Amino acid sequence: MAKRPALIAAFSDELPQGDDAGLPRTLIERAYTQLRDDIVEGRILPGEKLRVEHLRLRYGVSAGTLREALNRLVSDALVEAEGQRGFRVTPVTMQDLDDLTDLRVRIEIEALRQSIRHANAPWREELQQAYTLMSDIERPLLPERVQRWEAANTQFHEVLVANCGSAWTLRLLRILNRHSERYRRFAIGIGQGRRNVHDEHRGIFEAAMAGNELRAALELEAHIRATPELLKAAAREGVDIFSAYKTPAGCAQSAHPAHREGQ
Q: Which residue range is the domain that position 29 belongs to?
A: 9-89
In degrees, to the nearest 5, what angle opens at C-alpha 36 toward C-alphas 32 and 39? 145
For residue 222, is it within any domain?
yes
Give whole-number Cα distances, 7 to 107, 167, 228, in Å: 16, 6, 29
For residue 201, is it within any domain?
yes
pLDDT of residue 193: 60
Report the CATH number that the domain containing residue 38 is assigned in CATH: 1.10.10.10
Please say which residue of 39, 56, 89 terminates a domain. 89
Does a cis peptide bond (omega within 30 degrees of 0) precede residue 257?
no
- State phi, psi for 210 to the nearest 5 degrees: -80, -5
Residues 75 and 158 in one domain: no
Chain-centroid distance of CA 92 in Å reads 14
Residues 66 and 125 in one domain: no
Least confident of 2-6, 94-98, 141-145, 223-227: 2-6
Quote the longest CA-to-CA distance of the chain.
Answer: 55
Residues 106 and 230 in one domain: yes
Please say which residue of 89, 118, 146 terminates a domain. 89
pLDDT tens for 23-65 read 446 888 999 999 999 998 888 999 999 999 899 999 999 999 9
Residues 75 and 135 in one domain: no
Helices and strands, number each (H, E), in the chain: 11, 3
6 has pLDDT over 60:
no
178 has pLDDT over 80:
yes
For residue 4, is it within any domain?
no
Residues 51 and 143 in one domain: no
Complete edge-to-edge strand list for the sheet that includes strand 79-81: 49-50, 87-89, 79-81
Return all residues near 190 (Cβ < 8 A) that are at least 6 apart. Answer: 230, 231, 234, 239, 241, 255, 261
**Mean pLDDT taken over the chain:** 83
How many domains does the structure of the chain reveal? 2
Residues 122 and 238 in one domain: yes
pLDDT of residue 243: 67
Is residue 35 a contact partner of residue 70, using CB atoms and an 8 Å limit? yes
108 has pLDDT over 90:
yes
Chain-centroid distance of CA 189 in Å reads 16
Predicted confidence band at 142 (pLDDT cuts at 50, 70, 90)?
A: confident
Q: Which residues pair with 49 in a beta bridge?
A: 88
For residue 196, is it within any domain?
yes
More confident residue, 20 or 140: 140
172 has pLDDT over 50:
yes
Interior/surface letters 107-133, b for 16+ CB within 10 angstroms, e for the rest: bbbebbbbbbeeeeeebbebbeebbeb
255 has pLDDT over 50:
no
Residues 106 and 47 in one domain: no
Predicted confidence band at 191 (pLDDT cuts at 50, 70, 90)?
A: low
Residues 186 and 76 in one domain: no
pLDDT of residue 252: 34
pLDDT of residue 187: 82
Residues 21 and 136 in one domain: no
Please say which residue of 89, 111, 129 terminates a domain. 89
